[in-house]
């Protein structure tokens, strides 16, 4: 008696990008790039939990997500505080069930000449931008991803972590932290790949945000745009596709990669 096996048909592009039935946690999700990515995953069908420090900002952000038909909730937590990180992980699992997608996006910067950079500011930036990413990734992996042998972790790095500063930037701690995120992503992808966990990073260029408002105001958005091959800065849509690719089955064979979304700045010689 012979048996035959049937190969399931290849999924369509729409099916590969569909996040229906999946859940996501996005830190720094109350505004800017985090909220943009929350919209992207929610629009693709995921339930989303967003987190940041301020409850009022989170309430407003969740309203915008729910108005778009997205199942969204929030938890206020400081992603630089280990106790808050554990509380965030536990409460998210209690309210949402196992998390399929984690986006580490919460971040801080500090502007000062390197020779005068305050130590406490250095520690604040590194604790939030690097240690926080590690602790929350570790917490989610231990609580649900390793046991289920699946998970997507997306770290928000920056093109500031791919090279040195432009002359108008004095952000040594921020650049150092984002360089650490780049190699953290690669190392974690190599260590956790056999556990079914994909780990990648998005490296944005200049996007208008609260964090970049000072530099954009000082240098001018038009002048920043002139330095990019596409002659523009990022907008409210430009991270959506990258986040959805890395979060969905369309990106199931991608891990350990750093995707620059920067208008081509990182492709320039010396960029």
Residues annotated as catalytic are 174
Q: What separation in angstroms does the CA of 130 have from each of 153, 162, 165?
A: 14, 15, 19
Q: Which two tokens stand for residue 202?
A: 């998005």
Q: Is the dihedral of CA 138, 139, 145, 148 positive or negative?
A: positive
The Cα–Cα gap between 55 and 239 comes to 24
Q: Which two tokens stand for residue 69?
A: 């038909």
Strand ranges across the sheet with 72-76: 72-76, 47-52, 23-27, 101-104, 151-156, 197-204, 258-261
126: left (phi over 0), alpha (psi -120 to 50) or beta: alpha
The Cα–Cα gap between 201 and 124 comes to 21
Q: Which two tokens stand for residue 21?
A: 């039935």
Specify whether the CB–CB gap between 86 and 59 falls below 8 A: no
Beta strands in the chain (DSSP E): 23-27, 47-52, 72-76, 101-104, 151-156, 197-204, 258-261
Specify whether the CB–CB gap between 226 and 220 falls below 8 A: no
């Amino acid at each position: 008696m012979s048996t035959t096996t049937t190969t399931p048909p290849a999924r369509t592009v729409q099916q590969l990008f569909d996040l229906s039935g999946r859940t996501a946690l996005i830190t720094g999700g109350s505004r800017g790039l985090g909220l943009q990515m929350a919209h992207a995953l929610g629009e693709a069908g995921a339930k989303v939990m967003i987190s940041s420090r301020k409850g009022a900002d989170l309430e407003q952000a969740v309203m915008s997500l729910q108005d778009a038909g997205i199942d969204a909730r929030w938890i206020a937590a400081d992603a630089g505080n280990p106790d808050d990180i554990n509380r965030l992980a536990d409460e998210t699992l209690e309210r949402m069930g196992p998390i399929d997608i984690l986006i580490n996006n919460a971040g801080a910067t500090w502007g000062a000449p390197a020779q005068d950079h305050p130590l406490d500011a250095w520690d604040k930036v590194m604790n939030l931008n690097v240690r926080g990413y590690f602790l929350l990734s570790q917490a989610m992996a231990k609580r649900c991803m390793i046991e289920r042998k699946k998970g997507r972790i997306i770290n928000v790095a920056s093109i500031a972590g791919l090279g040195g500063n432009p002359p108008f930037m004095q952000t040594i701690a921020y650049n150092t932290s984002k360089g650490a995120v780049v190699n953290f992503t690669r190392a974690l992808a190599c260590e956790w790949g056999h556990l079914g966990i994909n780990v990648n990073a998005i490296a944005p260029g200049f996007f208008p945000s609260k964090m970049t408002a000072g530099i954009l105001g000082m240098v001018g958005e038009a002048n920043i745009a002139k330095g990019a091959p596409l002659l523009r800065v990022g907008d409210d849509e430009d991270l959506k596709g990258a986040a959805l690719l890395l979060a969905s089955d369309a990106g199931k064979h991608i891990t350990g990669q750093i995707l620059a979304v920067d208008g081509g700045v990182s492709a320039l010689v010396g960029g």
